[in-house]
Structure 1
């Protein structure tokens, strides 16, 4: 039997008045809104144009000249960014990119955190989704300090790890390596790219209820994150039914591919999965990666049979040269036509028998 909600829970579930939400918002942004966007610019010592650019880059809708929206915390944030521009530490293009990065990331983050807390309340107290969301509005103040501290901690840890990886990568690379034949720009990063996706997800998702679909997607994402990150590879993005990851080492990336297929296949009620693996050059922007290698990996996974991992022949040759202990077997397959790429000779990656 689900637990009976106590009196405080029942009161909160019955309805959260606007004053409660106002109080929570004030605690987050520092006060009630007191400034228009023109007053925001004046107090921050910037142009009105920069204030508008700042707000739009943060991912928020345009505000009218007379709308009172901003607080002293907004003034402080705009002033800090303006000082970086004035001192020449960054240019406008960099400023906009940084603002978009943090806004896009935190928008996803707060949504993820909210859904996790709502789901937890629903599960723990045996209440429906609407009741859990009302209760979340009442109780969110008890979580904000911990969530904020954990965000700062995670950001510092992730930046520290990236600094170490970047140091190791550029230590042995000459600046001239950034130029290809004829002095043209090259894609600056060489990475192993792994794509893993669920087969027939679109059709199956239309047959599932919301709870079953959420469980399917959550199982896929959590399992993928656990296998990928615990091995030392890094997730670039997840797209519901697919995950793209990168690794600096091709053998490690191959191990992740094979292990992830096995881990997902072992999950109850999981759809069949398939994968691709490509070693190639990419460019990183907006927290994502781009380049012909990414396109190739995306197209290869589309033709991979369920339960298999496909590579192109160049990646297979590179892996064979690096796999000195014979961890894997390479199984050549018939040529396949890939949309936008043409004919490719795929090679299936199989873990060798012990």
Structure 2
């Protein structure tokens, strides 16, 4: 029979929770709602939307910090920052974002504590984790606030660059998906740590190039990155740059393909929706390894001119277009597509 893993026990878990929350839980959800001056049903709704587990009315699981948080949430509802029609989605987004961040940070701290402790002694492991948290968390918390404010400033700058977006429900954007070629095969040949490092490298290098061109990474989906940028020329430059790196055998950056569409996009809670996003996704699926496909919106925005041989030549631009086959895909009968390539010097 195998040996059972040491169990830190409920007392250990409670002690760690109390340390992270700043105090021992002493309140029920009913008491929290009463102290915050908020109806219990609203308190329960916000709690669930944040992704926290159900608590019975008599569970002593809350602290004074929960009272203040609930009061602040109710104030945001009252002043219209959390209107009823978007409250659920916005609070869920907060909950998911911080849950992922907390999961990663906790795993990191636990790994560091385990490296320096005795795996057979849970109490020693807790002491190590608590000590690390005491040193690390204040710094992480301060950095999170800094990063958040920096992103607020950046988002405000993008918003004010185009005053029409202040009242419009849609924005004109270029949407690009960049997809790793052969991800499934490669993932089978790498162990977990190597796969994580490989994907992290892809995401890091892609993000750096996107932001350097004034774009925004919307999300990463395993082997794929979705980004937007106002200027279609910038989107093409990023996609071609990544494809070139992927084609270089001496560069560890993976081989990729990309699809770009330009048009009306609905932005909501940090994500993007609409036909333009769907078109970019379909173009990416249809693109050959190492290639970049664009739609009519990108082509027209860059003001290309048809060449006599069926190619597209826009004079001084650092790329060339060639019309590709129309794409039949779900939601599109015949999606027009052009393959874009870097212009070779002297051609």
Q: TM-score, normalised by structure 1?
A: 0.81
- 1:327 aligns with 318
> Bigger shift: 264-273 or 241-250?
264-273
Rounded to whole Å, the distance in 2 between the matches of 1:215 and 1:193 is 26
- Partner-residue secondary structure (3-state), 2:219: strand
Q: Deviations over 1:289-313 (max 9, x none)?
A: 0000111111111111100100123
Q: Deviations over 1:216-242 (max 9, x none)?
A: 222221221222123321100000100
**Structure 2: where are the runs of 5+ without partners?**
1-5, 306-313
Contact 1:30–1:72 (CA<8 Å) still a contact in 2? no
- 1:79 aligns with 71
Q: Does 1:36 align with 2:19?
A: no
> Bigger shift: 80-89 or 243-252?
80-89
**Structure 1: where are the runs of 5+ without partners?**
1-13, 179-186
Q: Deviations over 1:220-269 (max 9, x none)?
A: 21221222123321100000100000001111111111112223444756
Q: Does 1:253 align with 2:235?
A: yes
- 1:56 aligns with 48
Rounded to whole Å, the distance in 1 between the matches of 2:166 and 2:153 is 23
Contact 1:24–1:141 (CA<8 Å) still a contact in 2? no
- 1:139 aligns with 132
Rounded to whole Å, the distance in 2 between the matches of 1:228 and 1:201 is 21
Aligned residues: 325
How far did residue 321 of structure 1 move? 5.3
- Partner-residue secondary structure (3-state), 1:334: strand
Rounded to whole Å, the distance in 2 between the matches of 1:104 and 1:174 is 26
Alignment of 1:232-251 (within 5 A): 232-251=214-233
Rounded to whole Å, the distance in 2 between the matches of 1:93 and 1:85 is 11
- 2:266 aligns with 283
Contact 1:309–1:350 (CA<8 Å) still a contact in 2? yes
Of residues 161, 169, 174 in structure 1, which corresponds to 2:154?
161
Contact 1:16–1:138 (CA<8 Å) still a contact in 2? no
- Partner-residue secondary structure (3-state), 1:282: strand
Q: TM-score, normalised by structure 2?
A: 0.82
- 1:5 aligns with none
Q: Kindly tell me: are residues 18 and 262 of structure 1, through their superposed partners in 2, closer, same or farther at Cα, counting changes over 3 Å?
A: farther
Rounded to whole Å, the distance in 1 between the matches of 2:299 and 2:108 is 40
Q: Deviations over 1:181-215 (max 9, x none)?
A: xxxxxx51110111001123234424432223222
- 1:11 aligns with none
Rounded to whole Å, the distance in 2 between the matches of 1:161 and 1:18 is 44
Alignment of 1:98-247 (within 5 A): 98-115=90-107, 136=129, 139-170=132-163, 178=168, 188-247=170-229
- 1:181 aligns with none
How far did residue 59 of structure 1 move? 0.8
Q: Deviations over 1:273-294 (max 9, x none)?
A: 1001111111112321000011
Q: Does 1:351 align with 2:342?
A: yes
